Amino acid sequence: FSDPFLNRRRANDFIQSDSRLRGIAQERIRERSKAPQEYQRELCEDYYPCEMYAFRHGYAAAYKHYFGRRRTK
């Protein structure tokens, strides 16, 4: 075998199809369950005043300032 390059069909034979599908399924699961910090950051990015506050003070402080629980008596 002197040619180091393979055609597309032969190259795809090296990868098992279920391992590819399993990887895709795992990626979809990771997309569905976001970390709380990522969810908070996205929520803050959608609200312009929160985003501007985040540039100066950070996203954790901005989220707490705009969306934190407000206690009422």
List per-residue pLDDT tens for the chain, 73 residues long. Answer: 566 776 766 666 665 566 566 766 777 766 667 788 888 888 898 999 999 999 999 999 999 999 887 655 5
- The pLDDT score that the predictor gives to residue 57 is 94
DSSP 8-state code for residue 26: H
- The pLDDT score that the predictor gives to residue 65 is 93
Question: Contact, 58 vs 65, CB < 8 A?
Answer: no
pTM reported for the whole predicted model: 0.51
Rounded Cα distance between 62 and 54, Å, is: 5
- The pLDDT score that the predictor gives to residue 55 is 93
